[in-house]
Structures are given as structure tokens and as C-alpha cells.
Structure 1
């Protein structure tokens, strides 16, 4: 009986170490600030024939678009809007007009 208990005691730390090695801790799902778009959002935006707007400011993730730039909502998917600025398709948050991704 004592041999069985010693064997169990020896296996326990080994199995704990194996579990610890396979654990992944995610602190930020998008550490670079980029957003993973649902595929249907990207497909919809890329298929639209929306005219491009000329804009003098920088178009980059985090930039706020002025009210003079018209944005269009993505139907049936909340939280995403788009526009085309300087020939680049841009995904924005509809409420804040903040650029969340520039499609290339």
C-alpha cells in the first residue's frame, strides 16, 4: 500500500507540470490594436461600389473621421460601418466614427 501511495505522490507533480505547460493566458485578444473582423463584414465592404471621398487627414486605426465623411452601416451586423477614403476602404465604429481597420 505504501508503494502505491509513493507512486501516486510522484505522479501528481508531473501531471501538474504537464497541465501548467499547456495553459495559455490571454491578457488582450488584440494586443496590436487591430480588430478581427467577421468575414461577412469584410466581404460585404469589399463588394460595395462606394465612391471614394478625398480627405486630407491621416487614415489609420484609432483616427476619428469628421462628420463630413459619410459612413455606411453594414446591414444585419451591429457595430460596423464603412466608408472609402482616398481610395482605401475603412471600417469604423458607427457611433464614434473611430477607424477600427483599414482594408488593403
Structure 2
């Protein structure tokens, strides 16, 4: 009976985590822990926090038309250089100008350290570095 309850709890956690994959890692971890605690007590909270955190940290890859647009947009004449390495999942510094992608409000782009990057406009998190 306990194995069946754990299986159901895991299914509920995975379903709720995937539904909230657009949330941040913190929100995903907190939501997963809360759901896990309700279903499986302290052990469920631990498992739920991990599952929710992983699902919350995933960033949705942009559609190919967004990647193509960012690849083809002319580079600005002034070169933007930052000391930090551009890393997927990390926000760009406030000094970097982020430009919205036309007709795609979920995405913006920047050209930093001669790398074209697609970012989430509200958080400035890097979604993809285009090679």
C-alpha cells in the first residue's frame, strides 16, 4: 500500500512540476516541497523540493524563427563587453542592452562579448547562446 502511495505522490509531483516549469527554481522547489509534504510528509517534502527545483530551473528553448532572427540581425557598431562569462540560466548585467524580438514578446536578445544571446526579457536570464 505504501509503495502505491509513493508512486501516486511521485506522479502528482512530476505533473505539477512540469506544469510550472516556467516558474523560477525557487518557486518550483517551494511548490514541490509543499506538494510533497502534503502527500508524503517530510520525505515527500524533500523529494518534492528536488523535483520542483529541477523543473523550475528549465528554460523553454526559443522557436527556430527567434533563433534565425537573432542570427541575422545586424550587430551594433558599438561592441558590448562584460567581464562575466555569459551563461545559460544566469541574468545579463544591467549594463547590457536587451532588445525585444519583434512579434515574440517572450524573447529578447543581446550581443555580448561577440556572442549572440537570447534572453527572457523580464528576468534578463540567458535562454540560449547562439554559436
TM-score scaled by structure 2?
0.53
Mapping for residues 1-104 of structure 1, pairs under 5 Å: 33=58, 35-51=60-76, 52-104=79-131
Higher-RCO chain (CA-CA 8 Å, sequence separation at least 6): 1
Q: How many correspondences in the alignment? A: 80
Q: Contact 2:101 / 2:107 at 8 angstroms: preserved in 1?
A: yes
Residue 34 of structure 1: CA displacement?
5.5
Query: What SS is found at the alignment partner of 2:104?
Result: coil
TM-score scaled by structure 1?
0.65
Greater fraction of residues in helix: 2
Structure showing greater Rg? 1
Deviations along 1:6-54, one digit per CA (max 9) or x if unpaired, are xxxxxxxxxxxxxxxxxxx98758x794642211101110111123410
Residue 66 of structure 1: CA displacement?
1.7
Unaligned runs of 5+ residues in structure 2 are 1-13, 22-54
Cα RMSD between the aligned structures? 2.3
* CA distance in 2 between partners of 1:69 and 1:82 (Å): 10
Q: Contact 2:120 / 2:127 at 8 angstroms: preserved in 1?
A: yes
